[in-house]
Chains A and B, each alone.
Chain A
Amino acid sequence: MGIPAAPIVTIAFKDLAQTNCAKRGMPLQRISYTPHPVWGKTDEQMYAYLDGNDPVHNIPLMKEIVDSLTRPLTADESKTGTVTPPVGAPSFTDTADNLQQYFLDNGMTDTMPIIIPTQEKVDAMLKGTSHKPDEVVGKMTPAQGAFPAWSFTVQQCAVNAVMAGATPDYFPTILAIASTGISALFSSTNSLVSAAVINGPIRDKLAMNYGIGAMGPFNQPNATIGRAWTLMSRNLDGGGICGETYMGSQGNVINYSNLIIPENEKDSPWPPFHVQKGFKPEENVISFFFGFCITQGQGGKGLGVKPVPLYNVAMSANCSPFASLFGALFLLDPLVANGLGDLGFKTKDSVVDWLQKNTTVVVKDVKSMLFSGLPRGPEAAGLTDDSVIPKWQKSDAFNLVVVGGQTNPYHQLANMSYRVSVSIDKWI
């Protein structure tokens, strides 16, 4: 733009701001800092920040800001040219123990021990796909727009797949994940999580678990495909560096291996999820979700209604703590899915239609959430504080997937939105 600018950032984001400026070609940007947070402070408290010192540079904040706009540039601040960030040598040689330590110390793991990615193991993994090792699979970034995306090859994905403990037959699914460029370690302060629903014959071919304990630590492909996603999200894009490229305030245990959900197609009363998205039943497809969290299981017992519990009512009630920034992904045991059918819901659409109409909020309770940052308030939309409106304005915010082993009529609810579905077959 050619106009001098003075960025101000709260001290909690110091490393992020400095790193981001460097990655965008302005490593010496004159950044000023305030105490953290600004959000929720009174005007007087904010003014006191301005009257006080920058907590990083320990000089009066406003003097620093004025100075950064008026002090002549140094030679380094005017530099042009290019730099290529180093990522280390192509390989590392040492004992197994020391390699484990080296990978850990350099932030290349999820802090758990890894399978050491020797050339032999990586070559074996590469046999799981017809794609060439040097083919570029895609680009990934910890946050779109905030960090430049890194590119990566089939071989680099294979290295991460080996580290995760995957076997070559899992590799096409891992490549399909990588090809989307979706990082499982999104940089946001919100400690977000990722999920992937797997459909098609590959679920049985890999012996994935979609029955009892499907989302627990009981099945190698479920677990290692998810772990590979996290490792790729650290290594293929420079993500997952706490304070720099990962800012989740509390973090989330789901980030270890993500939610990998093979759908229980055979016990579902409905067409599989990927067929909803336009794929054929015999195609192998992975579908991605992204959002805040997942609830504890909600059982059908105790609903107090006979002969069939009102599963739809329980599902809607379970939405109550969720904000509408992300959607509602219901993970239904087949008992619940079939129970909904007994209640008269013969299609997924009929369930979604009921949920959207009956999952409501009162405008005054959510006013700031729904309308903050928008140019027009609820009044402009013809609403009053007492208006009752759907919590989610669009029906596509609701998604239903069937998973589980029918030992109890449970559902779990993830406050997550659908992103995209991609072919696994393309990567075989």
Chain B
Amino acid sequence: MGMNRRKLLSLIGMSPAILAGATAEAQSKAKNKNGRSGSAAEVKLTALNPRGIPPPITLIPMAPRLATLDGKTVYLVSDGFPGADHFLDQIANWFKKNMPNVTTVYRLKAGGFADDDPKLNAEIKEKGQAVIMAIGH
């Protein structure tokens, strides 16, 4: 795979030690913050890894971009967190002032913040050309 693996794995949130981690040695390089030492005379133990099994990640290519937003309909989608509706109102205002050829349509996504909304997705696919989605609070 041609993608920068280190960058991807770093985005996945793995620590540098685990990124390094094909080694079976915890290494005596562990920080001695608490005055601990790794004297060669000390007995070594083997500890088992407590982690579970993450699923493989399928890379999803991003959708092709538009040449311009002029004349296009942009859906402004809220995931339902407090304030997202007002914030998206202000984005609609910004387009009116700065890019008046852009049509905006506000929608509240159904379900929780992580849930899919197939009905809204179908509407956007039929009537819209781009989405701006406000996530969180």
A91 in complex: contacting residue of B9, B27, B49, B67, CB < 8 Å:
B49
Contact yes or no, A83 B28, CB < 8 A: no
Contact yes or no, A94 B21, CB < 8 A: no
Contact yes or no, B136 A3, CB < 8 A: no
Query: In the assembled complex, which residues on chain A have CB atoms less than 8 Å from the CB atom of B105?
Result: none
Contact yes or no, B1 A119, CB < 8 A: no
Which of B37, B42, B61, B134 has the most chain A CB atoms inside 10 A of its CB?
Answer: B61
Given contacts A9-B136, A86-B19, A87-B18, contact A27 B11 (CB under 8 A): yes
Closest Cβ of chain A to B24, distance in Å, is 4
Residue of B nearest to A101 (CB): B30
Contact yes or no, A97 B38, CB < 8 A: yes
Query: In the assembled complex, which residues on chain A have CB atoms less than 8 Å from the CB atom of B22?
Result: 86, 89
Chain A-chain B contacts (Cβ-Cβ < 8 Å), number: 342
Residue of B nearest to A75 (CB): B2
Does A366 make an interface contact (CB < 8 A)?
Answer: no
Interface residues of B in 77-132 (CB under 8 A from A): 80-84, 86-87, 89-91, 93-94, 98-99, 112-115, 121, 124-125, 128-132
Does A130 make an interface contact (CB < 8 A)?
Answer: no
A-contact 0/1 string along B58-79, CB 8 Å cutoff: 1111111111110000100000
Closest Cβ of chain A to B23, distance in Å, is 6
B28 in complex: contacting residue of A6, A51, A85, A94, CB < 8 Å:
A94
> Interface size (A, Cβ < 8 Å)?
111
> Interface size (B, Cβ < 8 Å)?
93
Closest Cβ of chain B to A313, distance in Å, is 34
Secondary structure dominating the interface of A: mixed
A76 in complex: contacting residue of B4, B60, B135, B137, CB < 8 Å:
B4
Contact yes or no, B54 A238, CB < 8 A: yes
Contact yes or no, A245 B13, CB < 8 A: yes
Contact yes or no, A26 B60, CB < 8 A: yes
Residue of A nearest to B13 (CB): A19
Contact yes or no, A100 B36, CB < 8 A: yes
Contact yes or no, A91 B46, CB < 8 A: yes
- Interface stretch, picked from A145-153, A279-287, A330-338, A381-389, is A145-153
Which of A88, A122, A148 has the most chain B CB atoms inside 10 A of its CB?
Answer: A88
Given contacts A90-B49, A151-B53, contact A77 B62 (CB under 8 A): yes
A4 in complex: contacting residue of B46, B48, B58, B64, CB < 8 Å:
B64
Contact yes or no, B14 A86, CB < 8 A: yes
Residue of B nearest to A10 (CB): B136
Contact yes or no, A69 B66, CB < 8 A: yes
Contact yes or no, A152 B44, CB < 8 A: no
Contact yes or no, B42 A95, CB < 8 A: yes
Contact yes or no, A81 B59, CB < 8 A: yes
Contact yes or no, B130 A5, CB < 8 A: yes
Query: In the assembled complex, which residues on chain A have CB atoms less than 8 Å from the CB atom of B31?
Result: 101, 105
Does A294 make an interface contact (CB < 8 A)?
Answer: no
Contact yes or no, A145 B115, CB < 8 A: yes
Does A174 make an interface contact (CB < 8 A)?
Answer: no
Given contacts A5-B131, A87-B51, contact A143 B26 (CB under 8 A): no
Contact yes or no, B62 A70, CB < 8 A: no
Query: In the assembled complex, which residues on chain B have CB atoms less than 8 Å from the CB atom of A105?
Result: 15, 17, 30-31
Does A24 make an interface contact (CB < 8 A)?
Answer: yes
Contact yes or no, A19 B55, CB < 8 A: no
Residue of B nearest to A69 (CB): B130
Contact yes or no, A3 B30, CB < 8 A: no
Contact yes or no, A98 B28, CB < 8 A: yes
Residue of A nearest to B91 (CB): A50
Query: In the assembled complex, which residues on chain A have CB atoms less than 8 Å from the CB atom of B4?
Result: 76
A82 in complex: contacting residue of B15, B28, B57, B115, CB < 8 Å:
B57
Residue of B nearest to A152 (CB): B52
A25 to B57, CA, bound (A): 6
Query: In the assembled complex, which residues on chain A have CB atoms less than 8 Å from the CB atom of B60?
Result: 24-26, 80
Query: In the assembled complex, which residues on chain A have CB atoms less than 8 Å from the CB atom of B55?
Result: 148-151
A200 to B50, CA, bound (A): 29
- Interface stretch, picked from A35-43, A256-264, A393-401, A414-422, is A35-43
Contact yes or no, B59 A156, CB < 8 A: no
A93 in complex: contacting residue of B19, B25, B131, CB < 8 Å:
B25
| 17 A–B pairs (Cβ distance < 8 Å), ordered by A | A2-B63, A3-B130, A23-B13, A39-B83, A85-B14, A87-B14, A87-B51, A93-B24, A93-B47, A94-B25, A96-B42, A97-B37, A108-B50, A117-B50, A156-B53, A244-B13, A372-B82
What is A's interface to B at a CB cutoff of 8 Å?
Answer: 1-10, 12-13, 15, 17-19, 21-30, 34, 37-41, 43, 46-47, 49-51, 62, 65-66, 69-73, 75-103, 105-108, 116-119, 122, 140, 143-146, 148-153, 155-156, 159-160, 163, 189, 231, 235-238, 241, 244-245, 372-373
What is B's interface to A at a CB cutoff of 8 Å?
Answer: 1-5, 7-9, 11-15, 17-19, 21-28, 30-34, 36-39, 42-69, 74, 80-84, 86-87, 89-91, 93-94, 98-99, 112-115, 121, 124-125, 128-137
Closest 9 CB pairs of A and B: A145-B114, A97-B36, A152-B52, A22-B11, A236-B52, A92-B26, A39-B83, A101-B30, A94-B26
4 new A-B contacts, CB < 8 A, other than A22-B13, A101-B33, A236-B51, are A1-B125, A27-B59, A41-B86, A46-B90
